[in-house]
Amino acid sequence: MTLKVYRQKRNFNKTSEPKGKVVKDRSKAKKGKGKELSFFVQKHDASRLHYDFRLEMHGVLVSWAVPKGPSLDPADKRLAVHVEDHPLSYGGFEGSIPEGEYGAGEVIVWDHGKWKPLEDISPEKGLEEGRIKFELQGKKLKGAWSLVRMKTSDSQDAWLLIKDRDDFAISSKKYDILEKMPKSVISSKVIKSRKAKS
Ligand code: MN
C-alpha cells in the first residue's frame, strides 16, 4: 500500500490537505472480535458534489467517491467509485481546496466512527474479491452495510454501497439522512448551496 497516487495528484504547497503517511497496520495489531477500525465520510463540493466514503485498512483509508451519498434505504444501491488510497490523517480534514488544485472546493467531515468487518475473510481479501460486509458505528451511519463491486467492462472501478436490512435501515421516502443531517460532525459546518461551476 502506498500514497503515491494520492501525492501525485496534489501540490502540498498549495493545498492544506495532509501529505500523510502510511501508519502501522492497526488492523493486524487488533485481531479477532475486538477489531475496530476508523471510517470517515466527507462531503466534498468539488466540480460535482459527492461524498467520499473511507474505510481504514492496512494503514491507509481505502476510498470510494459516492456521487449521491449513502442512503439508509436498502433499495438504494449507491454508485461508489473506488479511488486512490488516502492517508489516515485525511479523515479529519475539513477546509477549502483552492481553485485550480485537484478536487477544488469545500470539504466537511460528514460522519466518522468505527467500522468492523462482518465476515471471516479479511477486508483486504474482500477488497480483492469485490465484496465487503461491515458494520458502521458512526455518529450518523450505523448498522450493517455492504460494498459490492459491479461487473462492468468500463475502466472505472465501480462498486455499489448498500445498506443491509436491520434496525437502522429506513425507507428513503420516510427519511433522507443527507437532507436531515447535513452538518459536519466535527465543526457543525454545512456546505451551502451548490456553486455553479463550468
Ligand atoms: Mn472527493
Calculate how far, in angstroms, residue 61's C-alpha sits from the geometric centre of ligand 1: 13
**What pLDDT was estimated at residue 174?**
96
Looking at residue 50, its pLDDT comes to 97
- State what percent of residues in the chain have pLDDT above 90: 81
- Separation CA 118–CA 145 (nearest Å): 9
Closest to 20 in 3D by CA, of 39, 4, 35: 4
Q: Convert the pLDDT of each residue in 91-108 to its tens digit.
A: 999 999 999 999 999 999
Distance CA 23, CA 75 (A): 36
Q: State the cell numbers at 4.
A: 503515491
Answer whether residue 195 shows pLDDT above 70: no
Q: Distance between CA 36 and CA 192 in Å, rounded? A: 33
Q: What is the mean pLDDT of residues 35-62?
A: 94
CA of 125 to the centre of ligand 1 (A): 25
> No. of H helices and E strands in the chain?
4, 9
**pLDDT at residue 1 is higher than 80:** no
pTM, whole model, 2 decimals?
0.91
The CA 196 to ligand 1 mean position distance, Å, reads 17
**Distance from Cα 49 to the centre of ligand 1, integer Å:** 8
165 CA from centroid of ligand 1 (Å): 27
For the chain, give the number of residues. Answer: 198
